[in-house]
Amino acid sequence: MENLKPCPFCGGSAHIDTFTTSMEKIPRFRAKCDKCFCETDWDNFSVEEVTEKWNRRTDDGNAEY
């Protein structure tokens, strides 16, 4: 089960959506805020990957510039 931090913009709770294309047949994931609808891109191929991206904050030492 994912452990998503609150939305970095509004503080709302978030959830993970899953999407599979008919051609690729590979599931993709995104995290999305339930309050302001901020979201990550769909270029995540695991729940762990999208959780890591959503939980990344600029002040936690894991930011990629």
User: Where along the chain do its domains lie?
Assistant: 14-55
- What band does 62 get if pLDDT is binned at 50, 70 and 90? low
Decide: helix, strand or coil at residue 2: coil
Nearest to 8 by CA among 43, 44, 42, 38: 38
Phi (first) and psi of residue 46, to 5 degrees: -155, 160
Do residues 2 and 47 touch, judged by C-beta distance below 8 A?
Answer: yes
Percent of the chain with pLDDT over 90: 75
Question: Around Cβ 13, how many Cβ atoms within 10 Å?
Answer: 11
Comparing 17-26, 32-41, 56-65, the range with the smallest average pLDDT is 56-65
Answer yes or no: pTM beyond 0.85. no
